[in-house]
């Protein structure tokens, strides 16, 4: 069981309410989902930024900001991200709890109505979005996509994923592609937005000191726009046979090489082995005591940074490191030795127990963030594994070294990506 109260609104929207007196604000977060596709990604990424520009009632950003300021400095934040091979749009509003504002009774309703307005009543010209807004947001999105190259660490990881998953939907960048922007018009983007709003799976989360039943009534009254049955989100491809690791090299004007290794874990959050995979990730590269940090960075001094990251819905593990270009072979060799050492069971008590403590501490600290509480529950809904933190800790405490070694045996190197200097 979780602490969320679940409701289904008449139009098919899923509502999750988390009552808690831990925070002095109320967080409303709307998630709209789409299949992650190359032909859809750029349009999907544009939608929230267009909606944030203004609404039918407050047609400019300035007017919308003024309304939010009157809600005691509330703010609406939009975001686009991937969860496995799902493309997720987020619209988040945080307001001060009216219990802490003397004489204020309708703040929750006012805030929810603004959030609904942003989501459902954009500025329209003719049969499409306002042309000047679309033009400007296309320019900004183009700059954001092209600007990824300025952050070489993130760029190298993204390029490794793109090469590793070039024939899979997960290889699509969350912001789409520059080449798709030209074909997007105010009319066809608005048509796509209406289809997405009409049929895309939608989840609304509310977290704060609220009465769940009263909140459910308020949300049903406010988010009452008609929708069709939610479209289906296709399952994420996880298992793939790797015959031989691929090597991809890219040359730029860089002084420091970026070496990224992409692995298929063949395990996701849905699997019982997932908790052992968390240990594997922690022992390998998630913490300062991990093998990559200690052996590649500290002892061998071969990397400016060396760590691993896990995409739990896709079952991909990435090792990212920044190295002297001349040390490529040495760095690659010692990184791969750390992977092999876990497979061979070379795990010290220090590494194992510190990983256990680190994983549990991460979970406990996450309870101090309303955003993480919501995000964690969304992940549980997507994966089909909803667990409380105590339940997760119980699973972590049952993991053994033998479990970690078993998981390590399923992990396969898929792609080696190296960003280096020219010449």
Contact yes or no for 292/338 (Cβ under 8 A): yes
Domain end among 187, 222, 257: 222
Q: How far is Cα 340 from Cα 407, in angstroms, rounded to an integer?
A: 12
Task: Tell me: do 150 and 38 sit in the same domain.
Answer: yes
Task: Tell me: do 261 and 189 sit in the same domain.
Answer: no
3-state secondary structure of 49: helix
Helix 38-51 vs helix 131-147: crossing angle, to nearest 10: 120
Q: How far is Cα 203 from Cα 217, in angstroms, rounded to an integer?
A: 16
Task: Tell me: do 416 and 303 sit in the same domain.
Answer: yes
Number of domains in the chain: 2
Task: Tell me: do 76 and 177 sit in the same domain.
Answer: yes
pLDDT at 231: 74
Task: Tell me: do 31 and 164 sit in the same domain.
Answer: yes
Q: Which residues contact 64 (CB under 8 A, 6 or more apart)?
A: 52, 54, 55, 58, 76, 118
Q: How far is Cα 215 from Cα 96, in angstroms, rounded to an integer?
A: 15
Instruction: Say if 238 falls within a structural domain.
Output: no
Task: Tell me: do 127 and 162 sit in the same domain.
Answer: yes
Task: Tell me: do 197 and 255 sit in the same domain.
Answer: no
pLDDT at 1: 47
Q: How far is Cα 32 from Cα 199, in angstroms, rounded to an integer?
A: 9
Structural domain range at position 332: 246-421
Task: Tell me: do 72 and 135 sit in the same domain.
Answer: yes
Supply φ then ψ for residue 151, to 5 degrees. -105, 90
pLDDT at 103: 77
Q: How far is Cα 64 from Cα 45, in angstroms, rounded to an integer?
A: 21
Contact yes or no for 420/249 (Cβ under 8 A): yes
Task: Tell me: do 406 and 366 sit in the same domain.
Answer: yes
Instruction: Say if 211 falls within a structural domain.
Output: yes
pLDDT at 303: 85
pLDDT at 2: 67
Q: How far is Cα 417 from Cα 370, in angstroms, rounded to an integer?
A: 36
Q: How far is Cα 117 from Cα 58, in angstroms, rounded to an integer?
A: 9
Task: Tell me: do 202 and 277 sit in the same domain.
Answer: no
∠ Cα 396 397 398 (to 5°): 90
Task: Tell me: do 156 and 120 sit in the same domain.
Answer: yes
Instruction: Say if 241 falls within a structural domain.
Output: no
Measured from the Cβ of residue 208, the count of other Cβ atoms closer than 10 Å reads 24
Instruction: Say if 231 falls within a structural domain.
Output: no
Task: Tell me: do 357 and 209 sit in the same domain.
Answer: no
Q: What is the pTM of this model?
A: 0.94
Q: Looking at the DSSP assignment, which residues form a beta bridge with residue 8? A: 14
The tens place of each residue's pLDDT in the chain, 423 residues long, gives 468 999 999 999 999 999 999 999 999 999 999 999 999 999 999 999 999 999 999 999 999 999 999 999 998 999 999 999 999 999 999 999 988 888 777 899 999 999 999 999 999 999 999 999 999 999 999 999 999 999 999 999 999 999 999 999 999 999 999 999 999 999 999 999 999 999 999 999 999 999 999 999 999 999 999 998 777 889 998 988 898 999 999 999 999 999 999 999 999 998 999 999 999 999 999 999 999 999 998 888 888 899 999 999 999 999 999 999 999 999 999 999 999 999 999 999 999 999 999 999 999 999 999 999 999 999 999 988 888 999 999 999 999 999 999 999 999 999 999 999 987
Domain of 405, CATH number, reads: 3.30.830.10
Q: How far is Cα 384 from Cα 381, in angstroms, rounded to an integer?
A: 5
Instruction: Say if 235 falls within a structural domain.
Output: no
Instruction: Say if 75 falls within a structural domain.
Output: yes
């Amino acid at each position: 069981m979780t602490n969320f109260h679940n409701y289904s609104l008449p139009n098919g929207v899923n509502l999750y309410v988390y009552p808690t007196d831990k925070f002095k604000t109320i967080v409303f977060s709307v998630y709209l989902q789409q299949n992650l596709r190359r032909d859809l990604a750029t349009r999907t990424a544009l939608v929230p930024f267009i909606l944030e520009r203004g609404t039918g009632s407050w047609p400019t950003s300035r007017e919308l900001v003024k309304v939010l300021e009157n809600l005691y400095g509330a703010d609406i934040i939009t975001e686009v991200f991937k969860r496995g091979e799902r493309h997720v749009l987020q619209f988040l509003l945080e307001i001060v709890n009216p219990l802490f504002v003397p004489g204020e009774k309708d703040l929750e309703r006012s805030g929810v109505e603004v959030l609904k307005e942003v989501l459902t009543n954009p500025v329209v010209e003719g049969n499409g979005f306002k042309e000047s807004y679309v033009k400007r947001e296309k320019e900004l999105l183009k700059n954001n996509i092209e600007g990824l190259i300025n952050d070489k660490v993130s760029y190298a990881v993204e390029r490794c994923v793109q090469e590793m998953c070039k024939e899979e939907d997960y290889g699509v960048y969350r912001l789409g592609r520059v080449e798709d922007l030209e074909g997007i018009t105010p009319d066809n983007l608005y048509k796509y937005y209406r289809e997405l709003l009409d049929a895309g799976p939608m989840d609304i989360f509310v977290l704060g000191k609220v009465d769940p039943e009263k909140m459910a009534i308020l949300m049903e009254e406010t988010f009452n726009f008609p929708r069709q049955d939610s479209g289906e989100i296709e399952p994420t491809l996880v298992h793939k046979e790797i015959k031989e690791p691929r090597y991809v090299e890219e040359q730029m004007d860089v002084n420091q090489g970026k070496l990224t290794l992409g692995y298929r874990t063949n395990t996701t959050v849905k699997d019982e082995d997932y908790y052992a995979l968390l240990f594997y990730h922690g022992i390998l590269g998630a913490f300062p005591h991990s093998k990559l940090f200690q052996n590649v960075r500290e002892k061998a001094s071969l990397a400016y940074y060396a760590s691993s990251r896990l995409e739990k819905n896709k079952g991909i593990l990435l090792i990212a490191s920044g190295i002297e270009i001349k040390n490529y072979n040495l760095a690659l060799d010692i990184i791969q030795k750390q992977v092999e050492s876990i497979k061979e069971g070379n795990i010290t008590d220090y590494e194992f127990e510190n990983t256990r403590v680190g994983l549990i501490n991460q979970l406990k600290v996450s309870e101090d963030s309303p955003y993480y509480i919501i995000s964690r529950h969304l992940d549980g809904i997507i994966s089909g594994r909803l667990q409380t933190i105590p339940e997760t800790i119980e699973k972590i405490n049952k993991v053994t070294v033998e479990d970690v070694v078993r998981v390590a045996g399923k992990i396969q190197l898929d792609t080696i990506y190296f960003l280096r200097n020219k010449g």
